[in-house]
């Protein structure tokens, strides 16, 4: 039983979160949180650890990184309407990535007109909007609600935690009137509140899928976001080895879904396999190919396994699926592997297929390595060379976070030393959450090395000063590998594709693509007692990365600024 009767709303808030399993609260300061800060000042080891950052997007991205790294539910406290708007992009990302978090803002509902503490005149004009913060962000979260009676304060907090962890997981948003945080709670929390269990797969659907795979001549597995934990990856390996089928990831993979050096890893181009596939198994794959209506082999069957295979948050999905199975992936894959193991799989064709895939995979990886090595003297430096060098120096226990766009394929191709379960994407359409995601992973694993790979375009969207300040204040050093091509390459790519004979191509004038002159990014790290180094010579890449890793091991934020071929050269 969570005892809250007689506590202030602020005290009850923290005690209920702790009782619901929330161990970390990531925050950005807001003037409505005085009752909570007063409660945190009391010596009480049972309260969640409070980690305050200097920007809402950092706080929310940290919660995302922490949840991805631990599987646990984080709490977040941000500043009313204005903070909710600052953080809405990170909330949207968590919604699309199905990352659980329970997010709270404060608001005023009495505006100083009752007998309690006066919140101040700013709530009359500058901080309030019709409908409150819950209305402003309701399209960016699973559920959004402004508590409208003090008697439901406690039960609403508990319910929000449950909904965040229910399938499909995601961010839940609650606005707490500060008048209720000051007031006394007069009711106890419900006696028993449990977290929801994840949905089990339909046995009939699993049996039907097993039948399709058992007789398939050329099955192919496609995945993007299945690898949320190592057990799922282990089940993927078991499935692939039973079938001797390739597992193909996409360039947008948010996790490492399959060991990159495994015989059956099929690379990152699912489209290359579609002409010959007779059963295509989409496991945690939102965008397996583009366009969604792209043709597969005539008569081929497409099956989707996911917690929410219909992707209801997307306005258009469009992939034609013959069999859709909803369920938690660990359970779904476990049931499928068990069924196939009992019934058996046609062996002769599968063994021949594996030998061919082994040969193709080895040739593919050798070609990538040969290409990267051919760039060792190229100036300005090439992305492939940098990623190849980074792979040589990464520690075995590293956690890797990326927020890149044009460098992502090279990252997937070359960083095969990173283990499944240790990679997290910090990019979901909008930019600006990579730094916070990496810091959230560091908060989850403070004794492990954390490396963030980020483009200079992405870096400029991040609240860098706030993130660096958090790393310094809480001694959470990470290494930032800045892929600096002095511009937005993805913006430039579209213009010649759409207008190959247009003015931009003829005059070499590409508007909206430049980040120049390049600022002294390493100096920003040094301003926070960190390590910073700029690299322009390809021969110096490895040494600079090793120095950055060593600085992080010694407790200092590190940034290595790698100058690549400029976008507009």
Q: What is the mean pLDDT of residues 55-64?
A: 97
Q: Which residues pair with 153 in a beta bridge?
A: none
Predicted confidence (pLDDT) at residue 539 exceeds the cutoff of 90:
yes
Check residue 46 and give its pLDDT: 86
pLDDT tens profile 423-461? 999 877 789 999 999 999 999 999 999 999 999 999 999
Confidence at 343, pLDDT banded by 50, 70, 90: low
Q: What is the enclosing helix (H) or strand (E) of 60?
A: helix 56-70
Cβ contacts of 60 within 8 Å, gap of 6 or more: 26, 76, 78, 87, 90, 91, 94, 101, 103, 433, 436
pLDDT at 123: 84
- Spatial neighbors of 367 by CB under 8 A, at least 6 apart, are none
pLDDT of residue 72: 97
pLDDT score of 346 more than 70: no
In which band, very low, low, confident or very high, does the pLDDT at 492 lie, cut at 50, 70 and 90?
confident
Which string of DSSP letters, residue by residue, matches 461-487?
A: HS-HHHHHHHHHHTT---EEEEEE-SB
Mean pLDDT score of the chain: 93
Structure pTM? 0.95
Residue 559: the pLDDT is 98
Give the DSSP letter of residue 184.
B
Res. 199: pLDDT tops 90: no
Which homologous superfamily is 9-182 in?
Thiamin diphosphate (ThDP)-binding fold, Pyr/PP domains (3.40.50.970)
- pLDDT score, position 344: 65
Q: What does residue 414 show for φ and ψ, rounded to 5 degrees?
A: -105, -25
Work out the end-to-end distance of the chain between its first and last CA atoms, rounded to an integer number of angstroms: 65
Query: Count of CB atoms within 10 A of residue 41's CB?
Result: 8
Which has the minimum average pLDDT: 105-114, 137-146, 321-330, 375-384?
Answer: 105-114
Q: What is the pLDDT of residue 74?
A: 98
CATH architecture of 203-362: 3-Layer(aba) Sandwich (3.40)
If we measure between CA atoms, which residue out of 394, 176, 355 comes closest to residue 263? Answer: 355
Residue 192 has pLDDT above 70, yes or no: no
pLDDT at 362 over 70: yes
pLDDT at 320 over 70: yes
pLDDT of 558 above 80? yes
The average pLDDT across 387-401 equals: 97
Q: For residue 11, what pLDDT is reported?
A: 95
pLDDT for the residue numbered 174: 98
- Higher-confidence residue of 393 and 493: namely 393
Q: What percent of the chain has pLDDT over 90?
A: 83
What's the rounded mean pLDDT across residues 485-501?
90
83-123 pLDDT, tens digit per residue, is 999 999 999 999 999 999 999 999 999 888 888 888 888 88
**Within 10 A of 408 (CB to CB), how many other CB atoms are there?**
20
Mean pLDDT of 130-151: 95
- Band of the pLDDT at 166, cuts 50, 70, 90? very high
- pLDDT of the residue at 493: 86
Domains 9-182 and 374-563 are alike in CATH topology: yes
Buried/exposed code over 158-191 (b: 16+ C-beta within 10 A; e: otherwise) = bbbbbbbbbebbbbbbbbbbbbbbbbebeeebee
Q: What is the mean pLDDT of residues 398-413?
A: 95
What are the domain boundaries of the chain?
Answer: 9-182, 203-362, 374-563
Are the CB atoms for 434 and 403 separated by under 8 Å? Answer: yes
| Fold exhibited by the domain 374-563 | Rossmann fold (3.40.50)
């Amino acid at each position: 039983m969570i005892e809250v009767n007689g506590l202030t709303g602020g005290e009850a808030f923290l005690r209920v979160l702790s009782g619901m399993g929330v161990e970390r609260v990531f925050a950005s300061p807001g003037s409505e949180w005085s009752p909570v800060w007063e409660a945190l000042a009391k010596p009480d080891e049972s309260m969640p650890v409070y980690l305050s950052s200097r920007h809402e997007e950092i706080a929310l991205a940290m919660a995302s990184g922490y949840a991805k790294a631990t599987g646990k539910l984080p709490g977040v406290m941000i500043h009313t309407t204005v903070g909710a708007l600052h953080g809405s992009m990170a909330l949207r990302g968590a919604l699309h990535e199905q990352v659980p978090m329970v997010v709270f803002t404060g608001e005023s509902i009495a505006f100083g007109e009752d007998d309690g503490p006066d919140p101040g005149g700013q709530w009359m004009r500058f901080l309030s909007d019709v409908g409150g913060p819950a209305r402003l962000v309701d399209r960016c979260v699973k559920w959004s609600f402004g508590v409208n009676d003090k008697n439901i304060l406690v039960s609403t907090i508990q319910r929000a935690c449950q909904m965040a962890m229910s399938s499909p997981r995601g961010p839940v948003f609650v606005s707490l009137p500060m008048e209720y945080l000051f007031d006394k709670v007069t009711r106890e929390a419900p006696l028993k509140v449990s977290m929801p269990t994840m949905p089990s797969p339909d046995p009939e659907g699993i049996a039907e899928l097993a039948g399709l795979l058992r007789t398939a001549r050329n099955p192919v597995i496609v995945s993007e976001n299945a690898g949320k934990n190592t057990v799922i990856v282990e089940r993927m390996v078991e499935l692939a080895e039973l079938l001797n089928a390739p597992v193909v990831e996409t360039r947008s993979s948010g996790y490492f879904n399959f060991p990159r050096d495994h015989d059956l890893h099929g690379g990152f181009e699912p489209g290359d396999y579609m002409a010959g596939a007779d059963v295509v198994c989409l496991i945690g794959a939102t965008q397996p190919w583009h366009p969604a209506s792209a043709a597969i082999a005539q008569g081929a069957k497409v099956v989707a396994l996911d917690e929410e295979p219909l992707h209801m948050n997307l306005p258009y999905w469009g992939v034609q699926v013959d069999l859709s199975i909803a369920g938690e992936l660990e359970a779904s894959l476990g049931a499928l592997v068990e069924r196939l193991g009992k019934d058996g799989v046609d062996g002769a064709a599968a063994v021949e297929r594996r030998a061919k895939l082994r040969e193709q995979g080895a040739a593919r990886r050798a070609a990538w390595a040969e290409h990267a090595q051919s760039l060792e003297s190229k100036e300005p430096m090439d992305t492939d060379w940098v990623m190849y060098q980074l792979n040589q120096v990464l520690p075995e226990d590293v956690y890797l976070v990326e927020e890149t766009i044009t460098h992502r394929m090279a990252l997937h191709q070359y960083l095969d030393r990173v283990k499944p379960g240790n990679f997290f994407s910090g990019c979901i359409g909008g930019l600006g959450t990579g730094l916070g995601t990496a810091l959230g992973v560091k908060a989850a694993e403070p004794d492990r090395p954390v490396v963030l790979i980020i483009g200079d375009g992405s870096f400029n969207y991040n609240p860098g000063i706030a993130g660096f300040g958090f790393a310094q204040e809480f001694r959470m050093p990470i290494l930032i590998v800045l892929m600096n091509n002095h511009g937005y390459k993805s913006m430039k790519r579209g213009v010649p594709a759409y207008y190959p004979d247009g003015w931009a191509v003829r005059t070499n004038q590409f508007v909206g693509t430049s980040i120049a002159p390049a600022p002294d990014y390493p100096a920003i790290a040094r301003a926070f007692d960190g390590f910073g180094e700029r690299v322009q010579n390809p021969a110096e890449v490895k040494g600079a990365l090793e120095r950055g890793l060593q600085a992080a091991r010694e407790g200092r934020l590190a940034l290595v600024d790698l100058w690549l071929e400029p976008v507009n050269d």
